[in-house]
């Protein structure tokens, strides 16, 4: 019962290569079916996201052969020179696979440390594989454990809590001021890359109302259509300032677009309800003095970048705690794996020795004379008890071998000693 993994990610391969080995959901289903029907793997699961393509499997026989076969399959499927592919692939076996998938689910293997999206992607890929029957007892157990690790890590550590992108930091700050954004509105001035990201986050978080203003009315209409927002004429921006609780500005202009006086008047008109201003423009779009106004919170791109830097190091500081959780689950999985092995060995031994016992008794009792049927029955019963007693006490003693590697080696020795492997179909 070995597990293998062959894959590449953002660390081992450039995006051009990753693109070529990406699996669509349908491709993953077909590849899983093919690998199983060809007998390369007994269980399969393919995880393909924009940052990784990974093939998990449980080979029926030797993992060496399966791994080589998988490499050939990978190269031929995506029509890539094996030499090129080889250097970008990583290969893991057994506990290495378990630890890797737990790290992936925990977000430790992600480009953005601790990001949450990957857990959903693992869940979806596993769910799909489960539905089309590609997984079996081993991969099911492993992926369920991985999902649990992902959940635990996110609820017990801070690896994913603090925002680590400028846009998201802005939106999280807004939430710390206003609470849920579903009753609040935002005005977007101009449209830079970060500004667009802010809008995406705001929409994700269910902002109630979005207003868009741009120097070019055409561009404003285009953005409004894309973001499901309302257009505000550039000349009306000052009047419109009364409504939004949040203003995001990324206009390229030499002078400030929003003067302190404009904001002061807007605040008076809106009864001093808190206003959060994000100035993404360089040079700055909003007069810095506006931050002195009561209930006005003004952040520029540098302020947000500083928060992001701080949060990134805070996330990295959480890695040891995440690793501890991962190791705990790796040990749990290994215990389960060893338990399964022990049960399998016990069952095989019972079957094999039971058969030998019956043959032996039949032979000896046939030779014996002067034994009544009741005595025969008693002897048979005793022999059965003796065998069961020896089997259970000796084999389960293996459960107490501390080191897993030693335990598995012992199990292998038992198999060899009793010739159990030859008996297997």
Partner 1 sequence: MMTGWVLATLILYLVSFAAYLRNLYAENTLLGRGAAVCLAVGLGLHYYAMIERARMLGAVPYEDLWGSLSLFAWLLGALYLGLELLHRGRSVGPFVLPFVIVLFSLSHLRNVSPHPALARGPLFALHITLNILAYSAFALAFVLSVIFLLQNRLLRRRKPGGMFWRFPAMDVLERMSRSSALVGVLALATGMICGFIWANRLQGHYWNGDPKEIISVLMLVFYAGYLVLAGQKAWRGARAAALCTFNFLFVMFSYSIVNIYLSRYHRFY
Give the span between the Cα atoms of 395 and 410, in whole angstroms: 10
**Contact between 179 and partner 1 (CB under 8 A)?**
yes
**Contact between 297 and partner 1 (CB under 8 A)?**
yes
- Nearest approach in angstroms of CB 161 to partner 1 is 6
The contact mask relative to partner 1 for 239-278 (x = CB under 8 A, - = no) is -----------------------------x--xxxx----
5: left (phi over 0), alpha (psi -120 to 50) or beta: beta
Helices then strands, counting H and E runs in the chain, come out as 17, 10
- Nearest approach in angstroms of CB 333 to partner 1 is 21
Residue (271 or 373) nearer to partner 1, CB: 271
Name the one range near partner 1 by CB under 8 A: 23-31, 178-186, 217-225, 229-237.
178-186
Angle between helix 404-417 and 319-367 (nearest 10): 20
Q: Which of 314, 319, 340, 353 binds partner 1 (CB under 8 A)?
A: 314
Residue 325 CA: distances (Å) to CA of 145, 146, 149, 197, 367: 11, 11, 7, 33, 63
Helices (H), 278-372: 301-316, 319-367
Mapped onto helix, strand or coil, the DSSP state of residue 6 is strand
- Nearest approach in angstroms of CB 249 to partner 1 is 17
Helices (H), 157-192: 166-178
Give the span between the Cα atoms of 13 and 7, in whole angstroms: 10
The contact mask relative to partner 1 for 180-199 (x = CB under 8 A, - = no) is x-------------------
Does the annotation count 149 as an active-site position?
no
Q: Which of 20, 93, 321, 384 binds partner 1 (CB under 8 A)?
A: 321
All residues at 6 or more sequence positions from 327 whose CB lies less than 8 Å from its CB, including other chains: none
Q: Which of 11, 310, 376, 394 binds partner 1 (CB under 8 A)?
A: 310
Residue 378 CA: distances (Å) to CA of 181, 255, 357, 368, 385: 80, 104, 14, 14, 11
Residue (170 or 190) nearer to partner 1, CB: 170
425 DSSP β-pair partners: none
Instruction: Transcribe 218-267 into DSSP letters.
Output: HHHHHHHHHHT-EE--GGGHHHHTTS-SEEEEE---SS-SB-HHHHHHHH
Torsion of CA 263, 195, 184, 221, to 10 degrees: 90
Give the span between the Cα atoms of 330 and 350, in whole angstroms: 30
**Contact between 178 and partner 1 (CB under 8 A)?**
yes
**Contact between 410 and partner 1 (CB under 8 A)?**
no
Q: Which of 37, 255, 294, 374 binds partner 1 (CB under 8 A)?
A: 294
- Nearest approach in angstroms of CB 38 to partner 1 is 45
Q: Cα-flanking dihedrals φ and ψ of residue 276, to 5°?
A: -110, 120
- Nearest approach in angstroms of CB 148 to partner 1 is 13
Single out the catalytic residue among 50, 316, 382, 390.
Answer: 50
Residue (162 or 329) nearer to partner 1, CB: 162
Residue count, binding to partner 1 (CB under 8 A):
30
- Nearest approach in angstroms of CB 307 to partner 1 is 6
**Contact between 90 and partner 1 (CB under 8 A)?**
no
Give the span between the Cα atoms of 187 and 201, in whole angstroms: 14
**Contact between 313 and partner 1 (CB under 8 A)?**
no
Name the one range near partner 1 by CB under 8 A: 41-49, 155-163, 235-243, 374-382.
155-163
Residue (260 or 352) nearer to partner 1, CB: 260
**Contact between 172 and partner 1 (CB under 8 A)?**
yes
Name the one range near partner 1 by CB under 8 A: 197-205, 287-295, 346-354, 373-381.
287-295
**Contact between 291 and partner 1 (CB under 8 A)?**
yes
Torsion of CA 264, 228, 172, 247, to 10 degrees: -10
Question: Could you list the active site residues?
Answer: 50
Binding footprint of partner 1 on the chain (CB under 8 A)? 155-158, 161-162, 172-173, 175-180, 268, 271-274, 291, 294-295, 297, 299, 303, 306-307, 310, 314, 321
């Amino acid at each position: 019962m070995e597990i293998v993994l062959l894959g590449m990610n953002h660390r081992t391969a450039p995006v051009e290569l990753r693109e070529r080995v990406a699996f669509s959901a349908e491709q993953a289903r077909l590849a899983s079916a093919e690998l199983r029907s060809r007998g390369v793997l007994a269980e399969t699961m393919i995880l393909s996201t924009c940052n990784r393509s990974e093939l998990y499997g449980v080979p029926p026989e030797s993992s060496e052969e399966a791994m080589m076969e998988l490499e050939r399959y990978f190269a031929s499927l995506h029509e890539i020179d094996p030499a090129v592919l080889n250097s970008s692939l990583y290969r893991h076996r057994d506990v290495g696979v378990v630890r890797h998938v737990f790290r992936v689910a925990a977000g430790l293997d992600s480009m953005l440390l601790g990001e949450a999206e990957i857990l959903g992607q693992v869940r979806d890929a596993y769910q799909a594989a489960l539905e089309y029957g590609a997984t079996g007892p081993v991969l099911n157990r492993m992926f369920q454990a991985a999902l649990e690790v992902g959940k635990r890590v996110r609820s017990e550590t801070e690896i994913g809590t603090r925002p680590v992108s400028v846009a998201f930091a802005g939106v999280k700050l807004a939430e710390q001021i206003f609470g849920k954004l579903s009753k609040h509105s935002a005005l977007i001035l101009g449209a830079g890359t970060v500004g667009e990201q802010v809008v995406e986050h705001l929409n994700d978080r269910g902002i109630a109302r979005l207003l868009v203003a741009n120097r070019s009315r055409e561009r404003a209409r285009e953005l409004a259509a894309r973001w499901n927002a309302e257009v505000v004429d550039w000349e009306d921006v000052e009047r419109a300032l009364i409504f939004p609780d949040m203003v995001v500005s990324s206009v390229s202009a030499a002078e400030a677009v929003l003067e302190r006086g404009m904001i002061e008047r807007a605040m008076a008109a809106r009864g001093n309800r808190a206003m959060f201003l994000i100035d993404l423009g360089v040079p700055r779009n909003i007069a810095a003095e506006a931050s002195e106004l009561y209930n006005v919170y003004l952040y520029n791109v540098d302020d947000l970048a500083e928060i992001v830097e701080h949060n990134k190091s805070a996330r990295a500081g959480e890695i040891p705690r995440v690793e501890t959780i991962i190791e705990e689950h790796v040990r749990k999985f290994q215990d389960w794996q060893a338990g399964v092995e022990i049960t399998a060995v016990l069952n095989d031994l019972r079957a094999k020795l039971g058969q030998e016992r019956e043959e032996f008794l039949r032979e000896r009792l046939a030779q014996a004379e002067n034994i009544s049927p009741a005595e025969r029955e008693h002897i048979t019963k005793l022999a059965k008890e003796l065998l069961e007693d020896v089997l259970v006490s000796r084999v389960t003693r293996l459960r107490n071998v501390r080191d897993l590697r030693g335990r598995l080696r012992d199990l292998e020795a038992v198999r060899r000693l009793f010739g159990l492997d030859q008996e297997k179909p």
